[in-house]
Chains A and B, each alone.
Chain A
Amino acid sequence: MKSALPLFALAALATTSIFGALSAAPIDAALPGTAAQLSVPAPAPAPATETSANLLFANRPAPAPVTTSTAPVRLADGHGHGGWFFGMFDDDDDDDDDDDHGGRHGHHGDHDGRNCPPGATNCAQSPAAAGTTDAPANGLFTPGTKPQVQSN
């Protein structure tokens, strides 16, 4: 059974490392909202040693969420995210804004197979190289012309 030891050691180390990596505290908070709120001085910072899972406002009442952004808004809820994949639970939340995707499990980014910033599309696909297609019609280029490039 001596031969099994390296495999056990490896499995133990890899598991520890994976758990260690996934136990990071998420940046996860309700957005501070309106200009009126913003003109109010920032609340006093919590002690620097605060390291609970919901790091940011864990011991503060969460401000009301606002909808100025299309970013997925999540409340400091009790899902116990500290220590596992956050994305695993995301779409199961009742307060999720993707009601039309009812029973679908997965992450927000899965909807179009990409992981783009909110509202953006086409950000994971590498662009077409120069010469293989026309320059974009952004009004800067003379239509139909090809760029020339030289590197030394």
Chain B
Amino acid sequence: MKPLYAPLALTTALVPAMAAATPVTFTTQMTNYGGDGAYLAYYVTDASGAYLGSLWMAGGKAKYYQHLSGWYAATGGNTAQVDGITGASVGAGRNLTITLDLQDALFDAGYVLHVDSSVEKMSDQPNDVVIPLTSANLGQKMPGKRYVQSVTVSK
């Protein structure tokens, strides 16, 4: 599981410069897809798609994580990746706001935020939203493909 070692590399790269950290808010608006609550996995990869780490998991039952196929393939379903950053699934039409204290070095360094989504009895949607983490994208409403209407990343 090569991707699992990547976060360690990032840690060593970032920790010396860790002076700079800011609360970052992720505002997610769901579409009215007419189904049960959606599971959402928020995770970061580098530009080549190699997994760095997870930011948030909406949905508490590990049994369903394999339907978040991008996240599952990257992590092998290792739930330790989302310990302490897991909350409830998000209903259709609802709004989810997550505020995380993130390292500044995450921005403008070629990293990309992915949101995988899945709804019971409906299709799995890996990469429902893909947002390059750049200063230019901050505060922009980035459209989702299926269950996510939009995600806004703001500082």
Contacts and interface: CB of A to CB of B under 8 A. Distances in A.
B78 A122 contact: yes
B150 to A, nearest CB: 14
A120 interface: yes
B38 to A, nearest CB: 12
Contacts of A127: 57, 60, 62, 79-84, 86
B101 A139 contact: no
B44 interface: yes
B77 interface: yes
A137 interface: yes
Chain A CB within 10 Å, residue with most, of B1, B56, B95, B100:
B100
Interface in B55-78: 55-57, 60-63, 65, 75-78
20 contacts: A120-B1, A121-B76, A121-B78, A123-B62, A124-B63, A127-B62, A127-B79, A127-B81, A132-B84, A133-B83, A135-B84, A138-B11, A138-B52, A139-B103, A140-B44, A141-B103, A142-B101, A142-B103, A150-B97, A152-B97
Interface of B: 1, 7-8, 10-15, 18, 21, 44, 52-57, 60-63, 65, 75-88, 90, 94-103, 106
Given A122-B79, A129-B60, A138-B81, 20 more contacts: A120-B75, A121-B76, A123-B78, A124-B62, A125-B79, A130-B84, A134-B84, A136-B54, A138-B11, A139-B10, A139-B13, A139-B53, A140-B106, A142-B101, A142-B102, A147-B99, A147-B100, A149-B97, A150-B96, A151-B97
